[in-house]
Amino acid sequence: MAEKKSFIADFRTFFLRGLGIVLPSILTLALLFWAYRFLQQNVANPINNLVRQGVLLAYDRIDPGDQWRPEWYKVDAEELADHRAANPRTRSLEDEEVVRVIRRSDFRQYWETHIWLEAIGVVIAVVLVYLAGVFVGNYLGRRLYVRAERLITRVPVIKQVYPSVKQIVDFLLGDGNRKLDADRVVLVEYPRKGIWTVGLLTGSTMRAIERIAAVECVTVFIPSSPTPFTGYTITVPRADVVELPISLDEALKFVISGGVLIPPAQAITAGREPRPLTGQSDGNGGAAAADLADRGGEAMMERKESRNEGDRA
C-alpha cells in the first residue's frame, strides 16, 4: 500500500515544481528589464538631453512665427509670473532666461509623454556605433584608432584594465574568422587521461610551445562551472582534440548547469539507466569494490618494492 503524503509534503513538491516553471520566465524578464533600464539611463537619456538642447537652440535661432510654434514653446505672461512666484530664486533673472527654463521643462515633459521620442536616443546610439565601425574599417580610421588606443593604454590606471577588457570583447564580438574559432566546441582529455572535458578551441598556440612539443598544437579554453567566463587555458596536440557537433550556446548551457542541461540532439534515451558506480551496494557492486581494493593493494606493494630497491641502490 502506497504511503499517503502529508499536506506539507504535497505543498513542497508542487511549490518547487511551480517555482521551476515560473522562475526562469521571471528571471529572463527581470534581466531584460534591467538591461533596458541600464541602456535607457546611461545611453538613451544623455543623447535625448543633447537632442532636446539642440532642438531648443534651433528654435531660438530660427524664431518661427506664432502659428508654427509648438505648444511647449509658447510661454505667456501668466505662466511666467506663476513660475516666478513658485520659484523665488528666478526673481532676479531676466525674463528671457526664465522663459528658457520654462521651455526646457515643458519640452522635457512633452518628450517623456511620447514613447517614439524616447526611442530617438536608442536609434541615434545604434547609428553612432555603426558609423564608428565603418570609420574604423578604413585605413585612416584604423590609424587614428591605433594612436588613440596607445594614448589610452599609457594612463596609469586604465592601462591595467583596458587590455583585459579589450581581449574579452574581442573574443566575444570579434570578426568572422576569430568568431569561427571561438564557436568550435571540442573535447579533450583533461586534467588527465580518461577524463573528458568540454572546451572551446580558441586558435593556434605560441611558436615556443609548439617547438618544445614537437607537434602541431592548439589552444583550448576550459570554462568552469557555473561561471564560464573563468577557467583554464591549455595547449594540447591537435591530434588529441575531438570536435563536438554542438553549438557554443549548447556548450555553455552544459557547463553552467553542471551537465544537467544536455543538448536535445545529444541526450541519451530515457529508457537507458546509468549503471551503478563502483562501490555501490547493488548487483556486482561488492565484487567491483573488492577488485578495486585488490588493484589498490597491488599498486601500493609495487611502489613499496620500488622504494626498497632504490634504498638498496
Q: Are 95 and 44 in contact (CB under 8 A)?
A: no
Q: What is the pLDDT of residues 214-225, one digit of tens each?
A: 999 999 999 888
**pLDDT tier at 234 (50, 70, 90 boundaries)?**
very high
pTM: 0.48
| pLDDT recorded at residue 308 | 56
To the nearest whole number, what is the mean pLDDT of the chain?
A: 79
Rounded-to-integer distance, Cα 265 and Cα 259, Å? 15
What residue type is 89 in one-letter code?
A: R
What residue type is 9 in one-letter code?
A: A
| pLDDT recorded at residue 166 | 79
| pLDDT recorded at residue 217 | 94
| pLDDT recorded at residue 176 | 47
On the question of pLDDT at 148 being above 80, the answer is yes
Nearest 5°: the CA angle 56, 48, 149 is 120
The number of residues making up the chain comes to 313
Pick the closest to residue 244 from 183, 185, 180, 179 (CA basis). Answer: 185
What's the DSSP call for residue 264?
A: G
Domain with CATH 2.30.30 in the chain: 177-261
Locate cell 585488490: which residue?
294
| pLDDT recorded at residue 242 | 93
| Distance separating the N- and C-terminal Cα atoms of the chain | 71
**Stronger pLDDT, 294 or 201, i.e. the higher one:** 201
Q: What is the pLDDT of residues 12-63, one digit of tens each?
A: 888 888 888 888 889 889 988 998 888 888 888 899 889 888 888 888 787 7
Other Cβ atoms less than 10 A from the Cβ of 158: the count is 13
Question: Which range is most confident: 61-75, 93-107, 129-143, 156-170?
Answer: 129-143
**pLDDT tier at 297 (50, 70, 90 boundaries)?**
low
Rounded-to-integer distance, Cα 24 and Cα 31, Å? 11
Q: Which fold has domain 177-261?
A: SH3 type barrels. (2.30.30)
CA dist 130 → 142, 144, 281 (Å): 15, 17, 63
Other Cβ atoms less than 10 A from the Cβ of 214: the count is 8
